[in-house]
Amino acid sequence: MTSPHEFLREDAYIAPLVERHGVLELDPADDMFERLVVSILRQQVSMASAAATRERLFDAVEVTPEGILAADPETLRDAGLSRQKTGYVRNVAEAFRDGYSREYFAEMSDEAVVDDLTDIKGVGEWTANMQLLFSLGRPDVFPVGDLGVRKGMGNLLDREMSRAEMVAKAERWAPYRSYATLYLWRAEEDIAESVTEVVEE
């Protein structure tokens, strides 16, 4: 069976990025709950700000469903979470305390995982897609709503594209659109620096 990298190396658009960056892997996180909390911290803030909040949060509390729920909300806010994100993280903790886990999602389709995760208030489609990529290691995810992916495709194709055009163009990379996404994030240096943090979590 052709590997993702051999497959993408044959594609006229992605091949130069494969040559430049070599083999990129998804490398799923060991702890899906932790990874989901980190994704929430990264919503609508810079990577530097999210990293600082992550460090303070992990120093302040045990980042498990039980640890988050036992913590005083003021402790979470002192770590840098907004009132809104404090609520979101607690919502995720309740869902995982009540049965969600990587094993729970393991046999579900990508669509079913997104449906279940987005039932949690504070988890949108982007955050759910990050879990498909970086918690479950699904090979064929294309997070069209991600700013880095949009910038990467614009750089690769030298023009701005609508989301519908991006989805249509990305069909050429199926069934390895997750791996294509890793390369798209590296199409510009400023994106690559951010994604290194994401992948190495």
> pLDDT, tens digit, for every residue of 54-110?
999 999 999 999 999 999 999 999 999 999 999 999 999 999 999 999 999 999 999
Predicted local confidence at residue 20, as pLDDT:
93
pLDDT at 197: 38
Which one is predicted more confidently, 152 or 198? 152
Segment 114-151, tens digit of pLDDT? 999 999 999 999 999 999 999 999 999 999 989 899 99
pLDDT at 47: 84
Least confident of 11-25, 100-114, 145-159, 170-184: 145-159
Instruction: Annotate the chain with DSSP letters as a single string.
Output: ---HHHHHHTSTTTHHHHHHH--------S-HHHHHHHHHHTTTS-HHHHHHHHHHHHHHS--SHHHHHHS-HHHHHHTT--HHHHHHHHHHHHHHHTT--HHHHTTS-HHHHHHHHTTSTT--HHHHHHHHHHTS--SS---TT-HHHHHHHHHHHTS---HHHHHHHHGGGTT-HHHHHHHHTTSSHHHHHHHHHHHH-
User: At 189, is the pLDDT very low, low, confident or very high (cuts 50, 70, 90)?
Assistant: low
**Residue-level pLDDT at 43:** 86
Q: pLDDT higher for 188 or 94?
A: 94
Q: Which domains does the chain have, with CATH numbers?
A: 4-26+142-200 (1.10.1670), 32-127 (1.10.340.30)
